[in-house]
Amino acid sequence: MVKKQVFDVQKKSKFIRKFEPHFKLYNLKNNIEIFNPNGVGLNNGNFIGLPFDSESANLILLPVPWDVTVSYNDGTASAPANILEASTQLDLYDENLKDAWKKGIFMQATDQNLMMLNSELREKAILYINFLENGGRVDENSTMLKLLKEINNECQKLNKKVAKEAEILLEKGKLVGIVGGDHSSPLGFLQVLAQKHNEFGVLHIDAHMDLRNAYEGFTYSHASIFHNALQLPSLTKLVQVGVRDFCDEEVEFVANNPERIHLFTDNVLKKEKFEGVTWKTQCEKIIAKLPQKVYISFDIDGLKPNLCPNTGTPVPGGLEFEEARYLLEQVVESRKSIIGFDVCEVAGTGNEWDGNVGARVLYKLCNLSIKSNKTTK
């Protein structure tokens, strides 16, 4: 790689300060020219080893290392690191977008302070969850009430942090994708999008509905993400695909919101498939429920468990990788605009296969988002 010269800020001449932006553009151009998309994946700290930074990229991936409220297996807080490491194994050619790698994708560095806070709070959440699972009554235990209040407050702070960071990126004209973490991770981003767009829909691929109200007492539980998101009036349609594990409360919530929530359970999709309905026809029905502007929320456990064996709450059934990819491609082919996305619940470091699949889902969403917005530099 060509090394950029480092200047002491205090010693920069007026000439250097005046022309430094041009130097940066030159270095970016030079990096792209010498980058070999057919070569060895570079461990340069960038997603897929791409030669972009936060200024030059069109699309920014925002890691949210958070899994405080997960109710089964944790570890997804380190998923951004796992995905980043696995991404160097990806080939860059994309059938949907010519010279896809040149369009500009950059993953921001993971906030290590947030990682540390997550670890501290997760220990407290485990104590609290164990208390519940052993029949404890929170309203009768001041210690548990204090823990619950602390966790809910910190989760709210996280939402504000994500919202602030996403808003800054959107104001710079960037496309944004969230890399969770558990599925509570994108709420702050959705709140910002709701302020920016008068109307949008969510295509939600998941094994779960995530429509519980403050599951286990956690206001911002991973199992409550879309119960919370639907408090945003701008979110006019929630289209759920592949769900196969849910409770009475969630079924009732869907039944009470027939114009706003459209459910395509894995059971019904498979039954139709067994009876001869093609995936193409099913995708057309799914996409017909979406408005022009679409946010894609991709919980990795929406796929079959063999593709995400170490995710937090795996469920038998689900979509094949190619089925999910086809659905996402058809969203763009239908001329919908992808205004943002998230990939959540990928297993963390030490789970190489999960990271590999997660990185591929993420790269496809990046490229389809760029294509749908016709964003290039």
Q: What is the pLDDT of residue 176?
A: 98
Closest C-alpha among 212, 275, 277, 279 to residue 241: 279
Q: What distances in angstroms separate CA 263 from CA 256, 324, 327, one per listed residue?
A: 13, 16, 15
Query: pLDDT tens, 339-353?
Result: 999 999 999 999 999
Residue 24: what pLDDT?
42
Report the share of the chain in percent with pLDDT over 70. 90
Q: Is the pLDDT of residue 22 over 60?
A: no
- Mean pLDDT, residues 83-96 taken together: 93
Q: Could you count the other beta carbons within 10 Å of the beta carbon of residue 125?
A: 24
Q: What average pLDDT does range 134-146 have in this prediction?
A: 94
Q: What is the pLDDT of residue 11?
A: 41
Q: Please provide the DSSP assignment of 244-281 as one string.
A: -B--HHHHHHHHT-TTTEEEE-HHHHHHHHHTT--HHH
Instruction: Write the CB contacts of 197 (distance below 8 Å, at least 6 apart in sequence).
Output: 234, 293, 339
Q: Which amino acid is present at 136? A: G
Rounded distance between C-alpha atoms, residue 100 and residue 111, angstroms: 28
Q: What is the pLDDT of residue 41?
A: 67
Residue 300 pLDDT > 90: yes
Mean pLDDT (the chain) is: 90
Asked if the model's pLDDT at residue 21 lies above 90, the reply is no
**Rg of the Cα atoms in the chain:** 21
- Could you tell me whether strands 105-107 and 175-180 are parallel, antiparallel, or unpaired per DSSP bridges? unpaired
Q: What is the pTM of this model?
A: 0.90
Query: Which has more confidence, 24 or 359?
Result: 359
Q: What percent of the chain shows pLDDT beyond 90?
A: 82
Please give the Cα distance from 1 to 50 (Å, whole number): 12
Reference 105, options 172, 174, 41; nearest CA is 174
Can you give the pLDDT at residue 256?
97
- 97, two tokens: 């977008």
Domains in the chain, start-ordered, CATH in brackets?
54-112+162-373 (3.40.800.10)
Task: Name the pLDDT band for 45 (thresholds 50, 70, 90).
Answer: confident
Q: What is residue 334's predicted lDDT score, i.e. its pLDDT?
A: 97
pLDDT in the model for residue 171: 97
235-288 pLDDT, tens digit each: 999 999 999 999 999 999 999 999 999 999 999 999 999 999 999 999 999 999
Tell me if 70 sits within 8 A of 180, measured CB to CB: no
Quote the pLDDT of residue 42: 64
